[in-house]
Structure 1
Amino acid sequence: MKNILNFFFSLCILLVVSSCTDDLNTEPKVELSLDELLAQDPNAVEGIVSRLYASFALSGVQGPDKSDISDNAGESPFLRGIINLQDFTADGMKNRWGDDGLDQLTTTSDWDENNKFFRYLFNRVYFTIPQCNNLLAVANNISIENKESVIAEVRFLRALAYYYLIDTFGKGVLATEENFGDSAPLPEASRAELFAFVEAELIEVEAALPATNSYGRASKAAGQMLLAKLYMNAEVYVGTSRYDDALVLINKVIDEGGYSLAPDFVSLFSADNETSTEIIFPLIADADTSQSFGNTTYIVNGSLSTETMVLADFGANDGWTGHRATKAWYGLYGDLGTSTDDRASLFWTTGHNFEMADYREWKDGYPSIKFRNTNFNGSPIITAFSGTDFPLFRLADTYLMYAECTLRGASGGAINTALQYVNAVRTRSNASTIMQSELTLDFLIDERGRELNLEGHRRSDLIRFGMFTGSSYIWPWKGNVVGGTSIPDSYKLFPIPLAALQANPNLTQNPGF
């Protein structure tokens, strides 16, 4: 069992905010105020901070079948929402269950404000933010150990929640410790306003975040990565290129973070990946103490089935017969049978068809076996829930970000260094090295797919590269057509959920919905 974060559940339950769409008003409803709780036990702040970290991976503090919010405990966790909205709406991954609303994600079609999966992520954002605000509202007036660092971590977590709001919905309300507890509905904040807030927050907390931190908690490099991600997508978010600024932060992560590429790609997605030298910031899973149907359990179990696979080979005792990759992902490696790229071997092909003629047919498409619940070092332990941490930020992504900034003309970028970083990523997986003439943006978006698919980046990447909407790039089942078709530019954002619009009349719907 991983001795990483101590979830003080009994303390945290006292601080749970009641619901999510109502949290747009940010009215705290607690059994004890934070001041009262900390007066009783000053050490409780560690449990509260741990709970904030857990909000990105778990459904609730009372177990995998209980939820902190009114949404379905299994379907609504934050990480599951990231995978659904970033990977299943894009080219590489599809799901066959046909749940109400899930077909619309996996076929990138018929989106509307009633889709529960949009509501789930929106609600998780506005569950996490008020909890951060609750602690920040009193943190400056209490005596706690390492106060500056704790406050910086909480602000990082709030910025992370806002980042996903900016990326997926493009607007919302700006809830902070300054307006925490206001009863009147907050005004709508634009994408530019949210961007400016998150940028300022991350710039301010960079110095206070620790250079190194306990595993699973934010370090200085995690804050730098998040701000770099914001800058990488600035042209999409606010219409202004910020690749120069992104590169400054990327260089800090590479030069000062102390990370190195893991020797083996598969080790990054195995149950003992907490030992990795590459992972900058993970979302923690533990088969015993942090069980969830929405962390990597969703990825591992969802990609397995007794129809064509042996579950024990992947450390699982349940296969949900749900997720398969499409040729838009495994086709990036060429012939899987002859490829030397280790990443090309991470698809289950036996009993499956190369073409996804029917996305609801399990045997159409290849399940990804990139994530597994087995240890890379040592014997496997079969468990009902995954113990594999989710690498939200890792060094290989940073290397590819450096190359992209350089190709986009960022000041200070060196093409020779970019080539060196890209080839380091490829060599680690036994892929052939490339020459400088081959390092183009077209090559790089494909390399990001080969390296990072199913890690919550793909939709944002395709939008940044101008490949998500329209017809310049199509993939299987895009627009609910087997061979793919054009989709409208409005799909660069998700519709604001109806429940959120009803909860706060100041919110308006995104164009096109």
Structure 2
Amino acid sequence: MKNLRLKLIGFGLIGLLFASCVNDLDTKPVVELSLDQLLANDPQAIEGLLSKMYGTFALSGPNGPGSADISGPDPGETAFLRGIINLQDFTADAIKNRWGDDGLDQLTTTKGWTPNNKFFRYLYDRVYYTVPQTNNILKVLKEGVDVPNEEQYISELRFLRSLAYYYMIDCFGKGVIVTENDLNSTTAVPESNRTQLFNFVESELIDIEGKISTTNTYGRANKSVVRMLLAKLYLNAEVYTGTARYNDAAIYIKKVIDEGGYTLAPNFLANFSGDNNTSPEIIFPLLADAVSSQSYGNTTYIVNGSLSSDTMTLSNYGALQGWGGHRATKAWYGLFGSTPTALDASPDSRAHLFWKNGHTYEMNDYKIWTNGYPAIKFRNSNLSGGSGSTDFSGTDFPLFRLADAYLMYAECAVRGATGTTTSQALTYVNDIRDRAGATPITLTELNLDFIIDERGRELNFEGHRRSDLIRFGKFAGNTYIWPWKGGVAGGQAISANYNLFPIPTTALQANPNLTQNPGY
């Protein structure tokens, strides 16, 4: 059994419970001791507090799969990672969900989005749970309670706050900026637009980069993790602010590649198996454990949701449950072969990470399980050595990994970023393809169309696809059509307002300074 690398300690043991802050950005933890008293009595408690904040990105709550930090009828639905998969992957081309319950149809068909959809609210509320809770801890650390290695803890907390804000920028394009200095305010916080949010996160990450440790425990932020997020911010800057920042993206992605010490895992599946904590490629994972951090919202959602005992053998993937929900479309596996025969003949090992038996290549009805091929990229079984089957997944989620950094470099190079060369970009791309057994490409083939396709082949189901399609101008409109785009099997154009999600009704009600995004 894989042990967590972070101490996910029982908060009841230290008398600490965090309250939800769906509608109150000034919410403070409910504690038997105040935070400053707790840390003064036991400075090592900072490890548990920090672990809790890391856990907000993978777990629904601190007390097992039935607990939730934010409100919702099903705790498992409220987890941050589940929200990222729902909003970044189901709304794009590669993965569709068939359940259709309570708003999932809106996501999987990119049609009929409303501010009352609970899945928009879950991600929005999760951001504004994570941000104030990091603020609470930061305030105590900065106001006189001393703990060993304090600057490192402060840097990690500020990174986690920035990561939460990054998804606010990407998904909603507006929000409110609150820091530890706003905790005692009773005034509704003014709305910040996308550029203001961008500038805040940029300034935070630049400052953190100079202070955070170069190395850290697996699962915690280090200098490369901060640089990776900064590079992603700059890579999408033209979408977020109207001004391209590919030169800046290249600076930081080169630092990740040149100074981080990461290497491609020899086997692609080393990044997506139950023992992926041993992969030399993963830069920043969201941790999972089948016993000590059970959740319906971490990779359990991806693994179990992609399996069904009706057509598959669950034990092959280390699972005891198959929920029969997620299937890839030909927009993903079609990147390897335009017909079932061509897909079977592909030399690319990534082409064979789809379950085809009993399923159809075409997804004529996304609500029928056997329409489309389930992706078996993620699994709960170990790549090396034996492993049993469990109800919950112990596979970590690779939020950042080196192959993504290589493809980000290649994109910057093709877009003409200073400090990059297309020859180096070609080397990085072919390193990725060589690992998969795919045919190397030539320099004449290295263009933006190839890069967006290769990002799909390499990175689909990892929470990037919607953002990638928007950056490449392929999400809204009719430039690129995929199955069930716009609610029809063959796909159709969608409005440009779908490049942003609607601000949830509950958020608008909680803060009169917030305004709705256009088109909703």
Superposition TM-score, scaled by structure 2 size: 0.97
Question: Are residues 1:438 and 2:438 paired?
Answer: no
Distance apart, 1:10 and its partner CA = 1.9
Equivalent position amino acid for 2:86 in 1: N
Counterpart CA distance in 2 for 1:432 and 1:14 is: 57
Equivalent position amino acid for 1:445 in 2: I
- 2:390 corresponds, among 370, 377, 383, to 383
Equivalent position amino acid for 1:405 in 2: C
SS of the residue aligned with 1:443?
Answer: helix
Distance apart, 1:28 and its partner CA = 1.9
Listed as ranges, the matches of 1:62-461 within 5 Å are 62-71=63-72, 72-140=74-142, 141-334=144-337, 335-461=342-468
Distance apart, 1:29 and its partner CA = 4.8
Q: 1:496 to 1:288 in 2, by over 3 A?
A: same
Stretch of structure 1 that moved more, 207-216 or 302-311:
207-216
Listed as ranges, the matches of 1:5-44 within 5 Å are 5-10=6-11, 15-23=16-24, 25-31=25-31, 32-44=33-45
Q: 1:244 to 1:15 in 2, by over 3 A?
A: farther
Distance apart, 1:445 and its partner CA = 0.1
Equivalent position amino acid for 1:39 in 2: A
Q: 1:209, 1:219 within 8 Å by CA — same for their partners in 2?
A: yes
Q: 1:85, 1:105 within 8 Å by CA — same for their partners in 2?
A: yes
Give the ranges of 4+ consecutive aligned residues of structure 1 lying more than 4 Å apart after TM superposition. Answer: 11-17
Counterpart CA distance in 2 for 1:449 and 1:13 is: 44
Counterpart CA distance in 2 for 1:20 and 1:106 is: 28
Equivalent position amino acid for 2:182 in 1: N
Counterpart CA distance in 2 for 1:333 and 1:440 is: 18
Q: 2:360, 2:373 within 8 Å by CA — same for their partners in 1?
A: yes
SS of the residue aligned with 2:181?
Answer: coil
Q: Give the number of aligned pairs.
A: 512
SS of the residue aligned with 2:285?
Answer: strand
Equivalent position amino acid for 2:224 in 1: A
Q: 1:14, 1:30 within 8 Å by CA — same for their partners in 2?
A: no
Counterpart CA distance in 2 for 1:201 and 1:14 is: 31
Consecutive unaligned residues of structure 2, counting only runs of 5 or more, are: none
Aligned-residue CA RMSD in angstroms? 1.1
Q: 1:56, 1:283 within 8 Å by CA — same for their partners in 2?
A: yes
Equivalent position amino acid for 1:85 in 2: L
SS of the residue aligned with 2:503?
Answer: coil
Q: 1:139 to 1:97 in 2, by over 3 A?
A: same
Stretch of structure 1 that moved more, 157-166 or 8-17:
8-17
Question: Are residues 1:494 and 2:494 paired?
Answer: no
Equivalent position amino acid for 1:139 in 2: L
SS of the residue aligned with 1:36?
Answer: helix
| Identical-residue share of aligned pairs (%) | 62
Counterpart CA distance in 1 for 2:400 and 2:198 is: 20
Equivalent position amino acid for 2:391 in 1: A
Distance apart, 1:13 and its partner CA = 7.9
- 1:55 corresponds in structure 2 to 56
Per-residue CA shift, 1:202-229, capped at 9, x if unaligned?
Answer: 0001022111110100010000000000
Equivalent position amino acid for 1:123 in 2: D
Q: 1:308, 1:350 within 8 Å by CA — same for their partners in 2?
A: yes
Q: 2:43, 2:148 within 8 Å by CA — same for their partners in 1?
A: no
Counterpart CA distance in 2 for 1:267 and 1:316 is: 17
SS of the residue aligned with 1:101?
Answer: helix
Counterpart CA distance in 2 for 1:382 and 1:27 is: 40
SS of the residue aligned with 1:87?
Answer: helix
Q: 1:315 to 1:35 in 2, by over 3 A?
A: same
Distance apart, 1:3 and its partner CA = 4.0
Equivalent position amino acid for 1:263 in 2: P
Counterpart CA distance in 1 for 2:295 and 2:65 is: 5
Q: 1:27, 1:182 within 8 Å by CA — same for their partners in 2?
A: no
Counterpart CA distance in 2 for 1:48 and 1:403 is: 38
Counterpart CA distance in 1 for 2:18 and 2:189 is: 17
Counterpart CA distance in 2 for 1:427 and 1:300 is: 26
Per-residue CA shift, 1:156-207, capped at 9, x if unaligned?
Answer: 0000000001000011110100102322221111111110010000000102
Distance apart, 1:352 and its partner CA = 0.1
- 1:504 corresponds, among 488, 511, 518, to 511
SS of the residue aligned with 2:90?
Answer: coil
Q: 1:466 to 1:14 in 2, by over 3 A?
A: farther
Superposition TM-score, scaled by structure 1 size: 0.98
SS of the residue aligned with 1:380?
Answer: coil
SS of the residue aligned with 1:20?
Answer: coil
Q: 2:174, 2:193 within 8 Å by CA — same for their partners in 1?
A: yes
Per-residue CA shift, 1:409-465, capped at 9, x if unaligned?
Answer: 101110100000000011011101000000000000000000000000000000000
Q: 1:78, 1:121 within 8 Å by CA — same for their partners in 2?
A: yes
Consecutive unaligned residues of structure 1, counting only runs of 5 or more, are: none
Distance apart, 1:14 and its partner CA = 5.1
Equivalent position amino acid for 1:36 in 2: Q
Counterpart CA distance in 2 for 1:153 and 1:348 is: 39
Q: 1:11 to 1:137 in 2, by over 3 A?
A: farther
Q: 1:297 to 1:13 in 2, by over 3 A?
A: farther
Equivalent position amino acid for 1:464 in 2: R
